[in-house]
Amino acid sequence: MTIVPFPNNFEIYFQNAMDALMSGNFEEAVAFIDKALAIKMDDELFNIGVSLLQSQNQAENALYLITKYQESLYNATTVEEMDLLLITLLIDAGKFSEAEKQINQRWAMLKNKAEYAYLENVLAQYLERITEEKKRQTEIERDEIVSKSQSISQEPYFKQVAFVKSLSILTNDDFETIIGPLLSDEAVHSLIKTELLNHLSERSSKTAFSVTKHGITDSVVPIFLHSPVHSTFYLEGLAVIEEVKGHNIIEKQNLEEVLLLHTLYFYPFEHRFFQDSTRWLQAITHPGEDSEYDFYINEVEKGLDLLT
């Protein structure tokens, strides 16, 4: 059997790239350009590859070529055609922080040099575009969040967690508008509601929200809420555990973890489910003796089972 070696020749790859380009097979052309550049750097071929990818709205792939073959552009302070193309691609790819960095490092070199005033104007226009793109992207993400909020209560816990993380981009008004209905929806996981209340508290929200947890509904103003770890039930629970189980470090630590979970689960109504920390500890260590507390403890366990 005769083995024909695969060509590893710049000229062959170059020609294959041109042939693919002429036939309109842009993806294949870029692949051959990449292979050719890996053998020998050629500015003309490199520019063709990057420009081709840009024309196909493949900013990420164009940036890949720049990073692979012209990484020095990222450290440049010039304002040449390729510098502006790099900035354009970064904006197109949504890499706004890096685009701003590239603009600012070039701006510093142009500052107070009258002959470069027109280039400063060019960079200023790029900064304006970044601001517009950020605003547009935020609006798109906000619309997606609003859409997801309509059905998030029916999603599994891990998707509810991801949804909460996505809310950070929202203004305070949008945040309150979107999560308000979720706090009174029994289908939203109890720990998710606790997380939402913590976020509202961090945003110093003075709005009153109707919060429902396992049959208890009440009006809550987040700015006046105590932190879960500063609640009376939690602090008294720690003291009781220390008093009763302080001699057994492992059991003490396990009980403290359970106490925290139970506090977070029913927060901010933990004291209305568990009025007595000593009674709670007795119910935890001697299940079956306190039907009321057993019921609430079982509710927590069922809720935690949904996390796995």
Same domain, 113 and 192: no
3-state SS, 16-46, equals: HHHHHHHCCCHHHHHHHHHHHHHHCCCHHHH
Under a CB-based contact definition with an 8 Å cutoff, are residues 269 and 120 in contact?
Answer: no
Backbone angles phi and psi of 218, in degrees to 5: -155, 160
Into how many domains does the chain fold?
3
Same domain, 191 and 93: no
Same domain, 14 and 122: yes
Tell me whether residue 108 is in a domain. yes
For the chain, how far is it from start to end, CA to CA, in angstroms? 56
pTM for the full predicted model: 0.69
Tell me whether residue 249 is in a domain. yes
Half-sphere exposure of 299 (CA within 13 A, CB side): 21
Handedness of CA 93, 97, 98, 103 (dihedral sign): positive
Helix, coil or strand: residue 296 = helix
Query: Residue 177, class by beta-carbon neighbours within 10 Å (0-12 exposed, 13-18 middle, 19+ buried)?
Result: middle
Same domain, 299 and 284: yes
Half-sphere exposure of 42 (CA within 13 A, CB side): 17
What is the structure's pLDDT at 112? 58
| Domain interval for residue 44 | 10-138
Same domain, 74 and 14: yes
Same domain, 221 and 233: no
Same domain, 234 and 211: no
Q: Can you give the CATH number for the domain in which 58 is found?
A: 1.25.40.10
Tell me whether residue 153 is in a domain. no
Tell me whether residue 247 is in a domain. yes
Give the confidence band of 2 by pLDDT, cuts at 50, 70, 90. very low
Among 114, 138, 162, where does a domain finish? 138
Helix, coil or strand: residue 222 = helix
Kind and range of the H or E run holding 300: helix 291-305
Among 138, 161, 192, where does a domain finish? 138
Question: In the predicted model, what is the mean pLDDT of the chain?
Answer: 89
Same domain, 29 and 107: yes
What is the structure's pLDDT at 105? 87
Kind and range of the H or E run holding 210: strand 209-213
Residues 6 or more apart in contact with residue 17 via CB below 8 angstroms: 29, 30, 32, 33, 36, 45, 48
Query: What are 78-104's pLDDT values in tens digits?
Result: 888 899 999 999 999 989 999 999 998
**Per this entry, what is the length of the chain?**
308
Same domain, 25 and 77: yes
Tell me whether residue 238 is in a domain. yes
What is the structure's pLDDT at 292? 93
Kind and range of the H or E run holding 148: helix 117-149
Same domain, 235 and 287: yes
Same domain, 205 and 218: yes
Backbone angles phi and psi of 220, in degrees to 5: -130, 135
Tell me whether residue 291 is in a domain. yes
What is the structure's pLDDT at 308? 65
Half-sphere exposure of 231 (CA within 13 A, CB side): 25
DSSP structural state of residue 220: E
Tell me whether residue 117 is in a domain. yes
Of 193, 213, 204, the C-alpha closest to 271 is 213
Same domain, 182 and 254: no
Query: What are 29-39's pLDDT values in tens digits?
Result: 889 999 999 98
Cα-atom radius of gyration of the chain, to the nearest Å? Answer: 30
Query: Residue 302, class by beta-carbon neighbours within 10 Å (0-12 exposed, 13-18 middle, 19+ buried)?
Result: exposed
Tell me whether residue 73 is in a domain. yes
Q: Would you say residue 281 has pLDDT above 80?
A: yes
- Scanning 153-290, the segments in alpha helix (DSSP H) are 157-166, 172-183, 190-202, 232-245, 249-266, 270-273, 277-285
Under a CB-based contact definition with an 8 Å cutoff, are residues 269 and 299 in contact?
Answer: no
Give the confidence band of 275 by pLDDT, cuts at 50, 70, 90. very high
250-276: average pLDDT: 94
